[in-house]
Structures are given as structure tokens and as C-alpha cells.
Amino acid sequence: MRKSLLVAVAAIVSGFYLFPVYWMYASALKVSDELNANPPTLIPHAPTLTAFRWIFERENVAQYLWNSLLLSSSVTVLTLLLATGAAYSLARVRSIWMDVMLIGVMLSQVLPPPLLVTPMFVIFRQIDLINTQLAVILATTTKTLPFAVVMLRTSFAQVPIDLEEAARVDGASRTLAFLRITLPLARVGYIVVGTLVFLLAYGEFVYPVSLLNKKALQPATVGLYGFVGADYSDWGNAMAFASVFVTPVIVIFMLLQRRIVSGLTAGALK
Amino acid sequence: MRRNFLKGTAALGALAVLGGRWPAQAADAITMWHIFGAETEPGLKNIKRWNETQAQQIDQKFVPFGQLSQQLIKGIATGDVPDLITIDNPVVASFATQDALEDLSDLVRASRVIKADQYYAGSWGTTVWNGKQYAVPGEANTLALYYNADMFKAKGLDPDKPPRTWAELRHAAEVLTDKEKKVFGTAFCAIQSEEGTFQFLPFLQQSGANLKTLTSPDAVAALQLWTDFVTNGLASRDVLVKRQFEMTSSWLAGGSAMVISGPWELQRMKDVKFNWRVATLPRREGRDIEASALGGYVWGVPKGARNKEAAFKVIEFMSEPAQMQQAWSGGRLAPVKTLQVESPAMPEAYATFKKQMEVAKPRGPHPRWPEISAAMQTAIQEALTGRSPPDAALQKASRVINPILERTPMVGL
Amino acid sequence: MVGFTALYLAFFVGYPVVYNLIMSVQDVTLGNIRYLVRPFVGLDNYAKLIADPLFTMVLQNTLLFVIGNVALQFLGGLALALFFQQPFPGASFFRGLILAGWILPPLVIGAVWKWLLASDNGVINYALHSLGLTSGPIYWLSDPATSLIGVTMANVWFGVPFNMILLSAGLAGVPRDIYEAAALDGAGPVRRFFAITLPLLRPTIYALLALSTIYTMRAFDLIWTMTHGGPVDSSNIFPVWAYRLSFELFDFGGGAAVSTMMLVVVFIVALIYVRSVRAEQLS
């Protein structure tokens, strides 16, 4: 009885919360006039796939999505790789330099992307990476790295140092202790941080639009902004595009969430 | 598993680096940044035409309109400018005085395609500063009054006699506002951005005032007209946050009976279910001043562009009648008054907008236009939100604007 | 390993920060923006900004926006995390579904919320009216008094899943046995929460609050899409102002100065966080 009550509450809360997401999908299916109907229509009167057909015909949606996927995956991998060492050190070592680094890491997050773009562009031009996806990957990683470092540091800090010490006593090297003991225990942190980093990178817009000239290399976020014009925004089509952009990630996430969540509810150290 | 993934990513990364590198031949191409997002944009069609017939190709990049200034500035800051770019006309003077645009005066003088007297005075005016030519008009647009003829008839108004004066406009708005049916009599755009200034200026100019006489009773009357619309419920309060096309979207959905907007909306009129018309903007009674806004992009060549002459050839190509003809298909007017579009779709609308273009007045040109515009936007919003009465709001604006105009006079003021 | 990461950040982030700092004490125009050496004007840009009547308004808005967002996002995330911690069928499914909100690009969120909050035909006003809670429309975005609330609603909606999932991860790190032991000792759920959960969650909470503050300070796309910072600058916060100064008014020095001011605020937040980390390491 109690369980069914919880399920009901969960359904209601999720329903309310997801209403804007529903609105996006509904708008993609509405006839353009209906978007501005008064009173607003909760269910499209005459749902149509026109918007979807339009975007698939005019834009190379598959290429956009592929680029987005490529960008996000690469950024995730790079971020987790780079963040691990730093996060671990910050968790275990106590020194003024670590403090400085942590502060620096957080400071780097605050500059609004438009102001970061110019210096970024200069850097990439110096190393001749303009108009490459690698540049975008590197640039986006600067955005995700600090977040990963801070959150992974917390994960590592939660692993009791005695376990590592025990392994060291048994003869393992520091690295081995880390890999064998700490890393698996921080698994949950990695999964969560990895997911969020992927999503952060998936939504990146400013760097791709500033560092890439070729449309074939652009991710879907840039394609989305193509619908917002000088004097006219194509909202119906934009919502259709956004639906196509967001849905694969939601689906993948839903499929993976069992694993993610089993990590989350595993509760832990015995 | 992770190792393979890493290997794969490294390989992909290398591919991306190699594959993304520009082949040497592209250095010859003419780089163009533009705002033509949709595939239906006439500008894109013209680029394709050039590329089909010319040896030196145009390498085009779409930049979302909101990003244009930012990307150009970034380009200037990093020395990586395109050869050709579309610029919104009110900021030409700003870029020109800061040495960001090439001086095209000689090229224009020598051109056989581009002749100053063929252009609307307003359009041409936006491209000149200090006697030098910094850009060439690419397209033009202006503002007119769209109205729903069916709603007019339903309320006993004659759709063949749209409001010709402010008094008539007010009267029509009162009659057409229907609170029960949730219909506003009129709609316009007063957002805190350039669009708000764009919409308000024609009213300011028609009142008999100008940017130097913002404290005059005439100017106050113009702002009062707008304020009354909002406070009396004849126009939605959302005029303060909605863009022009959003106000038109409301009109299309039957949310208002009239809306002030431009020809770019015509592309959306194909499926309109009601009887719609366009009329030139109503004038202020007692003052016979016709004025409307002037918008549209111009072609500029950023300072330091590598292919200046080639870029200018592209501009000439775009200015030829065959290319200009395409503009109307996208709801844009050609900035050339001598151009006649053969069998335009929606001929009455076309005729109305052409007529309105004759009295379209440019914003500026002035190198500090963005600051002037910002002051105007604040005044408009203060009045419409009731924060300040119109005269106080305009006095505050004139305290910002007058010193700017004293230092650098505006052409035509 | 640390060194490499530090170098990476120092290079890719340090350089832009320094570049920005330098710009904030110079007289930068389009003519000289491509050079690093430009006329030095000391603190003039800052003085001009502080003297600007907009400054107090923007500062106020930013403080309200950040505090409101961080608090509401945290509380919302915590409530959801605690709720979904309980075992019931579909818990993980629903929790996963809620993350969908965070996946939407800010442009889309801004557009959707702008529709929902529209004065005349927005769903929210419609619902409030139908339920009899309001007599007339609330001008969410077009009334200067409520525009900040409107954009806060959208931004909170956006940030809650992020908070929720990080708090869920933190909660998962709390060993079950401690709970069981406490329950055996007779401690009720509320007591258990405050005495056990919260203290153990502290590192996660601090990290989350610090990051949340910093991310909120950067919110730009959402507000730009919804109100452009208006009406009458009532939803203008520092990042929006910085953008307007740099890219609409071409006052690059001013935009850089505003960004530097934001850096100072973040510096203070980061300092507080680091001290909390220190304290935690000592314990």
C-alpha cells in the first residue's frame, strides 16, 4: 500500500516537473498557429509531422547528431582522464598549492563563454587547430574539467584512507592501491560525473560556433541556433529539432539508468 | 574495454585533426559570413549561383544573427576576419569609426553595377560615414500596419479604410479590443533591444520631434500614444518582452487585430486563414510627416580581409537585378528603388511596402548608435511599465543622448 | 598526473582570465582590440561602472538571483534525492526521467518557459486562472517586479536535476549500517537525517553549493532568450550586462571589468569552499 502511494507521488511529481519537456514535444507536433493559441492547447489539435519532415529534409540531422555524440564522448573521456589524477591528489594531499589549484579550478568556471572565446581562439590559432573538432573538444574540456575535479575529489575523499593503507601494507604500490581499491569504490562518482559531463558537453554551443567554420563539423547545438533568425524564429521547427536532439540522449540515459542507479542505491561499504 | 575506447577516441581525434584541416586551395576562396539560416533564404540561393558560374568560390559560413557582432569582434581581435560579412545597418558607423571596415569609396565610384542614385536615400545613408563609403546595402525592410480584415468587419469597421491617423488608430484599437475573446486591438514591439527602438522611431519622427528634441511635447505625445495602448489594455503587456515576430505570431493566432511589423513576416502568411491586409503606418493628425523604420543588412568588407577586390565583385554580383529579384521571395525588399519585381507574390503587400520604403528613415548613422538606442529603449520601457511618466522618461534619455549628439552630430539631424 | 591537469587549466583558462583582466584596465576599441598593448586607464572602467546607476540594480538582481536559485535548486534537489532514495518500484525510472530537464539546451528552456509564462496565453496563468487562484493575468516577464521571479523559475527548474543527482550520489555513499544502528538505537527518521545523513553529506553539499553558485552566476542564455535582461533591466544580472557592454555597446573594457567583478565574487566563494575542504580533511 505504501509502495503504491510512493509510486503515485513519484508519477505526479515527475509529471509536473516534466511538463516543460512535454511542451517541447507537443510544440513540435503543433501546427504553427496553434503555438500561439489563446487559450493554450495542452494537446495538439491536429498533430502533424510537418516540422519533423522539414528539418530532416533541410538539415543533415544525422551529421549534426553524430558530431554532437563525437564531441560529448571525447570530452567525457578526456575530462575523466585528466580529472582523476588531480582529484585524487586534492583528496589526499594537503598543501597550500592544492588549495590554490582548487581555487583556480573554480575561478575558471565563472567567465561567461563569450568572453573566453577570443583568447581561446588565439590559443588554437597558435597551435594551428582552428576549424578542427579537436579544438572544440579541448575547449569544452576546460569547462567540464573543473566540475569533474571538484566532484571526483569528493568521491575520493569519501573512500577511507585506511583501506588504501591496508593495501599498501600488503605490499601494493600507491598506484596499484589506487587502482585496485579506491577507484572501484569511487565508481558511483565516476558514473554520475561522467553522465553530467557528457550532458554538459552535449549542450555546448559557444565553442563550436566560434572555433568551427565548416558546417559539416558542427554539432547539433549550432544547428538549433540556426532556427533563431534576425527577424524571425522558426519555433515549430526549432522544437522539432530540439526533440530530435534531446530524445536519443534521454533514451540512452533511460536504458543506462538502471546501472547508474544501482550504483547509487547500492549503499556501500561493508 | 576502456583501453579500446581510448584507442578509438585517439584515432578519431587524429582523424578529426587531419580531416578538419583546410586544404591549401581554400586560401583562394572568398570567405563570407552571413545570417542566412533557412535554406529558403534568397541570399543562399545567390551564393549558390555565384559558385556555379565563378572560378573563385565563395566559402560561406552561417552565423546566427545574435552571434554576428560577437563573432566579428572576435575575428577582428584575432585577426581572423572573413572577406565579406553581412552587417546590421545601424552599426556600420560604429565599426567604421573604429577602423574595422575597409573603405570601399573608390571601388563604388568605379563600379558599373552599384549606383548611389538607384538606392533608397535611407538605405544608402546607412553605409556612408564622414564622406566615405564603408558598405553597400544588401536588402531593406521597413514597418507597416498589418490588420485582420475579418475582425474589422466583425466590429463594424471598414476594412478598406484602415486607420490613417493616430486618432483613428486609437479608435480602431479600442473598438477591436475584446477582453472576452482575449483579443487585443493592436500590437507592436517594445522589447529592451534594438527592435524596440526600431519600432518606436517612426512614431517619434511622425510626431514632429527627433532625437535632439526628446523633451518636446511632440516626443512626449508619441511615447504617450504607446503608453496609453498598454495601460488601457489595448495592447498586451508582453510587448515589453516579445520580439517583433513573436507579436506577429500572436496576431496570426488571433491574439490581436493589428500588428506593426515588416515584410519578413509575409513568408508566414501563406497559410493564414483570415482575410489580412497591410497598410502604411498611420500618421499623426495635424502633422503630415510620413516616416517608417529602415532595417536590413549591408555588405561590409572587414579591415584586413585578404580578398578585398574579389569580395567587392561578390557585392556587385549580389547587387545585380537578377540577384536582387530574389529578395522578395524571402519577404525582403531590395534596397534599390528602381527595381521592379516581376509578378511579385502578394502584390498589394509588395506595393504597400515599396511605398513605405520611400519614407523609411535610417537609424543614425552614428558611431555611438548602440548607446543612443539603449537610452531610448530604457525610456520606452520606463514609460510602458509605469515606472516613469513619458516626459520624465524622455528627459532622462535626452540627458544621455544630447551630449553624445553634441560631440558627434548625426547626419540629417 | 596533477601537474598535467594543472598545466592544462593554467594554459587554457589562466590565459583567458589574465587576458580579461588586462582588458579591464585598458581603453579597448575595435581598432586596438587585436593588440595586447592598449592605452592603460587604470581603474577608470571600474569607476565608470560603479558610478552607473545600473550597477546597483544589476548587483541587487545578481545577488537575489544567485541566492534564490542556489537555495531553491538545493532544496528541490535534496527533497527529490531523499524521496527517490526510498525503495519502490519505478523509483529509478522516475529519477532518470527527471534528468531530462537538464538535457534541454538553455535556448529551448528559455523558449518553452517564455511560452509558459506568457501573460496572455501562457499555460501557467491559464492554470492559475482555471483553479481560481488568480483573477487576472500575472505579467510574469513583462512586469519589472516579477521578471526576476520568472527567470528564476525557469533556471531553478533547469538546475534541480543536477542537484538531485549529485545529492543522490552523496546519499549513496552513506553506509547503510550506520542507519540501521541508529534505527536500532531508537532514532526516528528526522533525527537520523540531521544527526547522520547531513554531516556525512557535508562534503558533497559544500561542493554542490559552490558549483551551483558559480554556475548560476554564469547564467546567460536563459535570461537572454526570455527577457533580454529587461524590462528596464529588472532581470539584468552581471553576465548579461557584461555581454551587452561588450557586444552591443562595444565597451570592451567595461565588459571585461564586469567579468572581473564576477571573478572576485567567485573567488570568495571558492575560498570559502577550500576552507571547508581543509576543515573536513582535518577531521
Q: Given an 8 Å threshold on Cβ–Cβ distance, is B74 in contact with A39?
A: no
pLDDT for B213 equals 94
> CA-CA distance, C130 to C127, in Å (whole number)?
5
From B325, B365, B356, B355, select the one nearest B142 (Cα to Cα). B356
Res. C183 pLDDT band, cuts 50 70 90: confident
Q: Is the pLDDT of residue B93 over 90?
A: yes
C-alpha–C-alpha distance, residues A177 and A185, integer Å? 12
Are residues A122 and B35, on separate chains, in Cβ contact within 8 Å? no
Stretch (H or E) spanning C264? helix C252-282
Judged by CB atoms closer than 8 Å, whether chains meet at B98 and C119 is answered as no
**A243 vs C171: which has the higher pLDDT:** A243
Are A242 and C86 an interchain contact pair (Cβ–Cβ within 8 Å)? no
Q: What nine digits make up the cell of B321?
A: 537585378
DSSP calls for A183-195 = HHHTHHHHHHHHH
pLDDT value at position B232?
A: 94
| Cell 566579428, residue located | B72
Chain B residue numbers touching A117 (CB-CB < 8 A): 70, 74
State the Cα–Cα distance between residues C283 and C277, nearest whole angstrom. Answer: 10
Q: Which of residues 133-192 of A touch B (CB under 8 A)?
A: 133-134, 137
- The SS3 call for residue B183 is strand
Q: How do residues B276-317 score in pLDDT, each as one tens digit? A: 999 999 999 998 899 999 999 999 999 989 999 999 999 999
Confidence of residue C174 (pLDDT cuts 50, 70, 90): confident
Q: How far is CA B353 from CA B36, B95, B261, B290, in A?
A: 22, 29, 11, 13
The chain-wide mean pLDDT, for chain A, equals 83
Q: Which of B53, B250, B60, B220 is nearest to B148 (CA)?
A: B250
Of A85-94, B58-67, C274-283, give the lowest mean pLDDT range.
C274-283
CATH number, domain C46-282: 1.10.3720.10
A-facing residues of B in 326-355 (CB < 8 A) are: none
Question: Which residues on C lie below 8 Å from A151 (Cβ)?
Answer: 166, 207, 211
Using CA coordinates, name the residue in chain B closest to A37.
B253
Cβ of C248 within 8 Å of Cβ of B241? The answer is: no
Closest alpha carbon to B145 in B292, B38, B274, B249: B292
- Per residue, the 3-state secondary structure of A10-75, as one string, reads HHHHHHHHCHHHHHHHHHHHCCHHHHHCCCCCCCCCCCCCHHHHHHHHHCCHHHHHHHHHHHHHHH
> Going along B118-228, which residue ranges are E strands?
128-129, 132-133, 135-137, 144-148
pLDDT single digits (tens) B353-386: 999 999 999 998 999 999 999 999 999 999 999 9
Residue B198: list chain C partners with CB under 8 A: none
**CA–CA min distance B348, chain A (Å):** 22
| Full domain range(s) for residue A80 | 62-217+260-269
Is there a contact between A176 and A107 (Cβ–Cβ < 8 Å)?
no
Task: Dump pLDDT digits (tens) for B227-284.
Answer: 999 999 999 999 999 999 999 999 998 999 999 999 989 888 887 889 999 999 999 9
| Chain C contact probe: residue of B70, B95, B238 with most C CBs at under 10 A | B238
Nearest CA in chain B to C229: B192
Average pLDDT, integer, range A137-165: 84
B37 chain-A contacts, CB cut-off 8 A? 226-229
| Confidence label for A264 from pLDDT (cuts 50, 70 and 90) | low
Instruction: Give domain status of residue A94, yes or no.
Output: yes
The domain that holds A121 is classified in CATH as 1.10.3720.10
Cα separation, C223 vs C64, in Å, equals 14
Has residue A93 been placed in a domain?
yes
Which amino acid, residue A254? Answer: M
Helix (H) or strand (E) holding A96: helix A96-107
Q: Would you call B254 and A73 a contact, using CB atoms and an 8 Å cutoff?
A: no
CA-to-CA separations, A137 to A1, A142, C12, C217, C268, in angstroms, rounded: 50, 9, 12, 24, 30
pLDDT at C281: 67
**Is some CB atom of chain C closer than 8 A to the CB atom of B80?**
no
* CB pairs A-B closer than 8 Å: 119
Distance CA C257, CA C24 (A): 5
Say whether B98 and C121 touch across the interface (CB within 8 A): no
Flag whether residue B12 sits within 8 Å of chain A, measured between CB atoms: yes
* Res A6 pLDDT > 80: yes
With contact defined as beta carbons under 8 Å apart, do A51 and A227 qualify?
no
Cβ <8 Å between C116 and A23: yes
**Counting Cβ atoms within 10 Å, is residue A125 exposed (0-12), middle (13-18) or buried (19+)?**
middle
Extended strands (E) in B159-279: 258-261, 276-279
Given a cut of 50, whether residue B10 has pLDDT beyond it is no
User: A118: exposed, middle or buried (C-beta count within 10 Å: 0-12, 13-18, 19+)?
Assistant: buried
Q: Quote the pLDDT of residue A258.
A: 66
Cβ within 8 Å, pair B253-A34: yes
Please tell me the distance from the alpha carbon of residue C109 to that of residue C102, in angstroms, as a whole number: 9
Q: Give residue for cell 559570413.
A: B33
Residues of C in contact with B98 (CB under 8 A): 29-31, 250
Return the number of other C-beta atoms located less than 10 Å from residue B39's C-beta. 12
Does the distance separating the beta carbons of B13 and A134 come in below 8 Å?
A: yes
* Half-sphere exposure of residue B91: CA atoms within 13 angstroms, side-chain side: 22
Question: What pLDDT digit, counting tens, does each position of A168-203 carry?
Answer: 788 777 777 777 778 887 887 888 889 889 988 998
Number of domains in chain A: 1
pLDDT in tens, C225-273: 899 888 999 999 999 999 899 888 989 899 999 988 988 888 888 888 8
Buried b (16+ CB within 10 A) or exposed e, B151-187: bbeebebebeebbeebebbbebbebbbeeeebbbbbb
